[in-house]
Structure 1
Amino acid sequence: MNYPIPDSPQEIVALRQKPIDEELVAAAIAGVVKIVRAQGQSLEELTAQVLADDSMLDRQQRRWLSKLLAQAWENFS
């Protein structure tokens, strides 16, 4: 992977400066999972946050993302 897994929210935000590709998205997702776990949150809490209504993603996109995060969560176990 060309991108290290982010260790902080600031490092995730800094990824915005990079061109978007599959590896960048994978690094961002891995970073979110890593940070959330380090904060002691559960997969259920992360899923609830992702599934909450927002203006960036529609319902189908939020469900897809929550499944992707669950897979990443399991890979970190």
Structure 2
Amino acid sequence: MNYPIPHSPQEIINLRQNPVDEELVAAAIAGVIKIVRSQGQSLEELTAQVLADDQMLDKQQRRWLSQVVTQAWETIS
């Protein structure tokens, strides 16, 4: 992977300076999972946040992202 897994919210924000590609998205998801786990949150809490209505993603995109996050959660140890 070309991008290190972020360890802080600021490092995730800093990823915005890079062109978006699959590896960048994967690094961002992995970083979010590491941060959420370090804060003691559960997968259920994270997926609830992903599924929450927002203006960036439509309902179908949020469901897809929730599934990706769940798979990543189960893969990342």
Note the 1:27-38 alignment, pairs <5 A.
27-38=27-38
Does residue 64 of structure 1 match 2:64?
Answer: yes
In structure 1, what is the Cα distance between the partners aligned to 2:69 and 2:21?
17
Q: TM-score, normalised by structure 2?
A: 0.97
Q: Which runs of 5+ in 1 are unaligned?
A: none
- Shift in Å, 1:36: 0.4
User: Could you tell me how far apart the structure 1 residues matched to 2:47 and 2:75 are?
Assistant: 16
TM-score by length of 1: 0.97
How far did residue 68 of structure 1 move?
0.3
What displacement does 1:72 show?
0.5
Write the deviation string for residues 49-76 of structure 1: whole angstroms up to 9, x where unpaired.
0101111100000000000000010012
Unaligned runs of 5+ in 2: none
Q: Aligned letter for 2:50?
A: V
| CA distance in 1: counterparts of 2:73 and 2:35, whole angstroms | 11
Query: In angstroms, what is the RMSD of aligned CA positions?
Result: 0.6
For the pair 1:25 / 2:25, whether they are aligned, the reply is yes
Runs of 4+ in 1 over 6 A off after TM superposition: none
Number of aligned residue pairs: 77
Q: Which amino acid aligns with 2:23?
A: E
Identity of aligned residues (%): 81
